[in-house]
Every structure is written in C-alpha cells, then in structure tokens.
Structure 1
Amino acid sequence: MDQIPIIYQQWLRAIKERNDTNAYAELYQYCWKDLYQHAARRILDSQDVEDILQELFVQFWEKRHTIDIQMNLPAYLKGMLKYKIIDFFNSNKAKDKLLDHWSKHIFDYVQHHPEELETYLMLEKMLEDELEIMPHNMRQVLLLKWEHLSIREIALRMGLSEQTVKNNLTEASKRLKKAIIGYQNVQDGSFTLLLIFILEELSR
C-alpha cells in the first residue's frame, strides 16, 4: 500500500460523496491483498480470513458517509482488521475450532465406550466454561498451539515473547487439568486419564 495518498483521497471522496461503486471496487482490489496477508499471519483458515475481510469491506461501505477523506486509508483499514481479528478469537467460532481439536482425539474412545458418552458431554461443557473465563491471550495461545503451530510461530503471530507463550500454555493446561479432575464422579476413571494425556500431548 505505497501508492500516493492523493489516490486514496480520490477514492474516498467518490465513495463518500457519490456512492461510487467503481471507486469502491478499485479500493477493494488494491487493498485486499495486503489485508489478507496481514490477517493470514494470525488466522490459519483461509475461509475465515476471507469471511473477515468481506465483513470488513461491507462495514466500510455501510459507513462510507462518515469516513474522513483526509485519513490514512491503509492505517484505517488495518485498524478495522485488528478489531475484526480480536472479535474472531473471542467468538464462538474460534472456540468451536478448539473444541473440535479436543473432540477428534476422543471420538474413537467414546464410540468404543458408549457408557462414557454422558461423561464426555459433561466434560465438553466444562471445557467450554473454562475457555470462556480464560484471558484472551491464554485462550488464543491454546487455539494456535492446537492448530499445531510451534511456540516460536505463536510468539511471532501474537507479538509475545516465547517465554510468555510458554507460560500461558502451561497455565491453560493446568486450569483444564484441574477442572477435569475436579469432577468427582470421573476422578478415578480411565476417561479422565485419557483426557489429561491428550492435554499433555497437545501442549507439547
């Protein structure tokens, strides 16, 4: 996005004052790639990235009559994107992805041990509750780690030190283990041990 600002101003004026869809399309085409690359460094699923950018540009169009023609367009769009990404990681969609990683590792076990289904459903609800109350960075570290990113990759994506990532991951695992063991009716069960083993494997 190194084009001279006057072109940004021309696009913004046309969009704001004349509802110019051609100018909007030019702006979209020019800015989309850089925003996509920026988001893709933080969100793994390309469809999620595309959905976020679609929402961003729809919102930009809807607010066109209030935009500042003199603004720094690239900085403005990246600011919008930043909050879209935060919303994504705080959303149920992101949480569901994390639950999917949990679920797929115990699906076979539950199939062969149907008597554990009720326990599984209870523990899945427990996991949802624990994720809900985790600090944002801690939850996001788990999400990225369970997407098989390395500690270094997570640190780069989140702008944190590698030690901070490790600390968040360790604390998150401790919280989940404590919550699992806290259910008295599964305290001594093999299913509980399996879940703790999965947590340890996914956290390495």
Structure 2
Amino acid sequence: MNQGPVVHQRWLQAIKEFNDTSAYEELYRYCWKDLYQHAARRILDRQDVEDILQELFVQFWERRHTIDIQMNLPAYLKGMLKYKIIDFFNSTKAKDKLLDHWSKHIFDYVQEHPEDLKTYLALEKLLEEELEVMPHNMRQALLLKWEHLSIREIATRMGLSEQTVKNNLTEASKRLRKAILGYQHVQNGSFSLLLVFIIDELAK
C-alpha cells in the first residue's frame, strides 16, 4: 500500500459519494498485494487466502455508503482482514484442513498397518468432536497454533496475554490426550500413543 492518505481519501470519497467503480478498482489494485501477504503469513492455502480477500473487498463495496472518508484506509482493511482470518480459523473448513494435517503425519503408519485404519477413522471423529466442545478461546488458540503462529502472534490476534494463550494450549492438549488415551483402552494402544505424540507436538 504505497499511496498516501490524500490519495486514499480521494478514492474513498469517489466510492462513497459517487459509487465510482474506477476508484474502487484503483483501491483494490494497490491494497491487494499487501493484504494478501499479510493473510498468507497466517493461512497456508493460497486459494483460501484469495477467497477471504475476495469476500473482504465485496463486503467493503457493500458498506461503501457508511465508510469514513478520513479514516486510515490500510488500518481499516487490515482490521477487516483480522476478523476474516479469525472466522476462517473457526470454520468447519479450517478444522477439516487440520484433520487432513493429522492424516499426513500418520499416513505412513496406516500404510504399514492397514489393520489400524478403523482405529484411525474412529480417532479422527473423536478429535473433531473434542474441538467442537472446547471453549471458544481455547479452540481458537489451538487452531491458530496449528497454523504455525507464535504464542505472541496468537496473543496479539486474540487480544489475550501470552500466559493466557499458553494456558489454553496446555489445557487443550490435556483434553485431547485424555480423549485419545481413554479410547486406547478399547482399541490399538500403539496407534493412539502415536496420535498423542502428534497432538503434543502441535500444541508446543
């Protein structure tokens, strides 16, 4: 975003007062790259990032008559993006991606032990259910951690202290371990322990 506040205000005024699509296209062109890079540092899938930004700019256009012409445009758009990213991490789509992430870690094991496929499918369902019942902040901290954000980045994004984030991650890990080890008493123990190890690594 290399344009100055005066140019931003000119765009915003044209968009707000005259529904100027040319000004909107200029704003879009100059802001897209910076927003894309910001989102891509947090979300790994390129298509997901593009979808989020598309939705953001559509929403911006829909709200054009209520925008403040004097506002800090880059800060405003990044604020919108922040909540889009949080919504993404809370979505079923993001959870499905994380379950896919687990699948990649244990793919070799299942290949070598096809008799454990039934156990894997049951544990996958168990983990998904555990995510669903976690408190909001705990689940969100865990999802952000699995997207490779640092404790400090998670704390900043969620508006929490770093210690609170750490506490949430620790408790989330304990809950997942308890669920998996509880299942171990009924099914294959070595496979369950492998999954516990993965959970612990992802929560660090």
Question: Structure 2-normalised TM-score?
Answer: 0.80
Tell me, in whole angstroms, the C-alpha distance in 2 between the residues paired with 1:137 and 1:203. 14
One-letter identity of the residue aligned with 1:24: Y
Question: Which residue does 2:39 correspond to in 1?
Answer: 39
One-letter identity of the residue aligned with 2:54: Q
Quote the offset at 1:46 in angstroms: 4.2
Partners of 1:42 and 1:157 within 8 A in 2: no
| Stretch deviating more after TM superposition (52-61 or 39-48) | 39-48
One-letter identity of the residue aligned with 1:30: Y
Question: Which residue does 1:103 correspond to in 2?
Answer: 103
CA displacement 1:74-124 (0-9 Å, x = unmatched): 343233212211111111222122112211122222223233222211111
Question: Which residue does 1:67 correspond to in 2?
Answer: 66
Over 3 Å counting, the alpha-carbon distance change for 1:203 and 1:90 in structure 2 is: closer
CA displacement 1:116-137 (0-9 Å, x = unmatched): 2222111111111111222344
Over 3 Å counting, the alpha-carbon distance change for 1:20 and 1:189 in structure 2 is: same
Question: Which residue does 1:154 correspond to in 2?
Answer: 151
Partners of 1:138 and 1:168 within 8 A in 2: yes
Question: Which residue does 1:185 correspond to in 2?
Answer: 186
Over 3 Å counting, the alpha-carbon distance change for 1:79 and 1:198 in structure 2 is: closer
% same residue = 76
Over 3 Å counting, the alpha-carbon distance change for 1:161 and 1:41 in structure 2 is: farther
Over 3 Å counting, the alpha-carbon distance change for 1:143 and 1:69 in structure 2 is: closer
- Aligned partner of residue 155 in structure 1, secondary structure: helix
Question: Which residue does 1:53 correspond to in 2?
Answer: 53
Tell me, in whole angstroms, the C-alpha distance in 2 between the residues paired with 1:96 and 1:71. 41
Over 3 Å counting, the alpha-carbon distance change for 1:16 and 1:134 in structure 2 is: same
Partners of 2:40 and 2:49 within 8 A in 1: yes
Tell me, in whole angstroms, the C-alpha distance in 1 between the residues paired with 2:181 and 2:195. 10
Q: How does 1:75-114 map to 2 (within 5 A)?
A: 75-114=75-114
Question: Which residue does 1:168 correspond to in 2?
Answer: 168
Partners of 1:9 and 1:69 within 8 A in 2: no
Tell me, in whole angstroms, the C-alpha distance in 2 between the residues paired with 1:128 and 1:140. 14
Over 3 Å counting, the alpha-carbon distance change for 1:42 and 1:158 in structure 2 is: farther
| Stretch deviating more after TM superposition (19-28 or 33-42) | 33-42
Consecutive unaligned residues in structure 1, runs of 5 or more? none
Partners of 1:123 and 1:180 within 8 A in 2: yes
Over 3 Å counting, the alpha-carbon distance change for 1:181 and 1:67 in structure 2 is: same
Consecutive unaligned residues in structure 2, runs of 5 or more? none
Tell me, in whole angstroms, the C-alpha distance in 1 between the residues paired with 2:68 and 2:153. 34
| Stretch deviating more after TM superposition (120-129 or 160-169) | 160-169
Question: Which residue does 1:121 correspond to in 2?
Answer: 121
CA RMSD of aligned residues (A): 2.7
Partners of 1:88 and 1:94 within 8 A in 2: yes
Tell me, in whole angstroms, the C-alpha distance in 2 between the residues paired with 1:41 and 1:33. 13
Partners of 1:35 and 1:78 within 8 A in 2: yes
